Chain A
Amino acid sequence: MQAFTSLTGGFPRTRSYADAVRRREKGKLGVDEFWDTVVRETKRSLARTARYLDYLTDGMYLCDDIFNPFIKDIEGVKRGWLVRFYDNNFFVRNPIVRGKIRLRPSPSTVDERIRLIKVLSKDNAFKGKSFRLPVPGPLTFTDFSVVETIDYSDNAQLAADYVKNVLNPLIDYVRGKGLVIEIHEPSLSTTLTGNVDWQEVYSNLVGDKESVHIIQYFNQPPLDALRTLSSRFTIGVDLVENPGLLDNLDEWLGEKPVIQAGVVDARNTRLEDPGETARRLKRLSDKVDVIIISSNTTLEFLPETVAHRKTRLLARIKNKLVR
């Protein structure tokens, strides 16, 4: 069994970065000066975590949330209003769908994030690390979207087009840049999407376990979805909220699964016991060839100091697991 550690989603912004964003929004900081701050602060923050992690992301420093500014890269979509992100005291701006959706030929916000990752990769602190680019999954995108066009009379068509016209070209694009796509799909567990069949939606998704990591968190997803998807892609599960998944592994592990185990709670400051967590994970690690140890969801729900401690914890859990 091989074990890795990973950052999932974003990482809390430093105070200096938050100040820079404020100054940028007020027009008191120029584009170049702001970019310098982005690079400096991202590097400073993620370099501290990199020694504990095998997979990193861009920290989503350039993002307000999982949808923004990513949806600017999608034709037919506008930025909406603030809505609660599941049951968290965290709010996102929802996508407003006003026409047929399609990834723009030059996805500028994705390009800027990739540019940041490339800058980070050149730094010694990040040598040998793999980078993932977090984006919303089709069910999550559909859940949060407000449809204002007759192009989509049902959610199933919207989710299908998101896969076909947005995610698939994006996966190819990102893969070409040497990155992994990290698809955030908490809505795999909800019924908000109503008539959307996850099986149909995901049957058209391209990629494999190396290039596509689908991360599900919060509520428990259907076990057959986990089984099917984990045969084709790397799947992240939330073992903090759904510890019972460890009791029925045979029911949801697909063929030769690569599983991201979300065992560190990104929604509570209490630090997990690494020994006990590793012992719990043993049941899973006995059944899979590759395990990625991570927080259950984005660490952005935590204060920066605690997020750093939780990242260190991932490495300690990994050490105890492989020992």
Chain B
Amino acid sequence: MVDYVLPSLPTSVIGSYPRPTWLRRMIKYYRMGRITEDAVQEAYDDAVTTIVREQELAGVDIPADGEQRRDEMVEYFAHQIKGFKFYGPVRVWGNNYFNKPAVVAKLEYPGPMTVEEYLFLRQVSTRPIVKVTITGPYTIADWSFNEYYPSKEDLVKELSNIINQELHALVDHGAQFIQIDEPALTTHPDEVEWAVDLINRTAKGIDAKIGLHVCYSNYDLLFPYIDEFSEISQFALEFANRGFSDLHKLKGFSKELGFGVIDVHNRRVESPEEVARAIRKAMKYIEPEMLYINPDCGLKLQPRSVARRKLENMVRGVLMVREELVKRGIRSIPFRKRV
């Protein structure tokens, strides 16, 4: 079903975006008890308004809210889903920590977790399509301790039911493009097979375009399963960080590709020409009608000014290729909910 028409090579973001300095300060004050809940919520709203405007000014076609209200992608949901407990942070690398949750009881859906976020994003964006991101069941399970469920598969199954309810809630409120984030998907090769089934179950019956974001992963383990993701229409994958080395593996790719052209772990701002070159390479394997353009991953670890310039150059690079596509008679593509 086609609802909207988008310019060819629609540009989007993966999700997170650096928080403005003043928001970080407000969050700190709130945690110190110096400002009220209302004040910090106002700051979150203002930050989303600013960040969405920033993305739109950069020329992004499908913005997201920059996950301004989320400290961390698993923690945010674990704080809301009933049955999680937090014992304290664990180190992930160097001196960087993650507040890893533990599942200590049967997990229960707490009611809508991201609907308010979506509604606010919808309100402040001028674009017809916006993207909502939600952490997938496998990654929530993989980045949690499991004290309750007999197996990890049982835990993922429970989480897939919960996330499915959340996706239904989002669609009920008008969401049209939802991205499930599963960076952990290929971490345990022997679990990929059942994880694919459970991700399909997560997205079952959802009347929206469902994207799946998998980054910094072994795509050799992922690609053989692409056709089996019956409920997933788009894969948002990271390619810039790996120097676009795996592009040939996209031959025969049957879904839409959200093509990662910006390295989010490097402060160097890619030139528009580099972006255009990368897109042309990808088009050797993927039809332009099946190609969306985005950074590799969320930009939250970059300074805000760098993040913005990266998005601007990403869009400039896309514009260069769009001109070439116009000569081939390709000006727009349909927004497809299902591919």
Which residues from chain A sit less than 8 Å from chain B, CB to CB? 12-13, 15, 18, 21-22, 25, 64-65, 82, 84, 87, 89-93, 267-270, 300-306
B92 touches A303 (CB 8 A): no
Quick check: is B93 within 8 A (CB to CB) of the other chain? yes
Q: In the complex, which residues of chain B have a beta carbon less than 8 angstroms from the beta carbon of A305?
A: 87-88
Determine whether the beta carbon of B95 is less than 8 Å from that of A21.
yes
> Does B199 make an interface contact (CB < 8 A)?
no
Q: Which residues of A contact B184 (CB under 8 A)?
A: 89
How many residue pairs link A and B with beta carbons under 8 A? The number is: 58
Task: Report B144-188 CB contacts with A as 1/0, cut-off 8 Å.
Answer: 011100000000000000000000000000000000000010011
User: What would 8 more interface pairs be, CB under 8 Å, given A22-B95, A64-B93, A89-B187?
Assistant: A84-B187, A89-B100, A269-B87, A300-B90, A302-B87, A303-B90, A306-B87, A306-B88
Q: Which residue of A lies closest to B216 (CB)?
A: A84
The contact of B93 among A18, A90, A302, by CB within 8 Å, is A90
Taking CB atoms, residues of chain A closer than 8 Å to B88 are 303-306
Report the bound CA distance from A87 to B94 in whole Å. 17
B187: chain A residues at CB < 8 Å are 84, 87, 89
- Does residue B143 face the partner (Cβ distance < 8 Å to A)? yes
Is B91 part of the binding interface, using a Cβ–Cβ cutoff of 8 Å? yes
Measured CA separation A18–B96 after assembly (Å): 9
The total of chain B residues at the interface (CB under 8 A) is 21
Residues of chain B with a CB closer than 8 A to A267's CB: 145
- Chain B residues with CB under 8 Å of A304's CB are 88
| B-to-A contact residues, CB < 8 Å | 87-95, 97-98, 100, 102, 142-143, 145-147, 184, 187-188
- CB neighbours (8 Å) of B98 from chain A are 89
Contacts of B146 in A (CB 8 A): 268, 270
Could you tell me if A92 and B93 are in contact, using CB atoms closer than 8 angstroms? Answer: yes
**Which A residues lie within 8 Å of B92 (CB)?**
89-91
CA A87 – CA B143 in complex, angstroms? 11
Question: Given the complex, which residues of B lie within 8 Å of A301, measured CB to CB?
Answer: 90
Q: Is the CB of B145 within 8 A of A269?
A: yes
Q: A12–B93 contact, CB under 8 A?
A: no
Residues on A with beta carbons closer than 8 Å to the beta carbon of B97:
18
The answer to whether A302 and B91 have CB atoms under 8 Å apart is: no
Distance in angstroms between the alpha carbons of A115 and B142 in the assembled complex? 38
Distance in Å: Cβ of B307 to nearest Cβ of chain A: 20
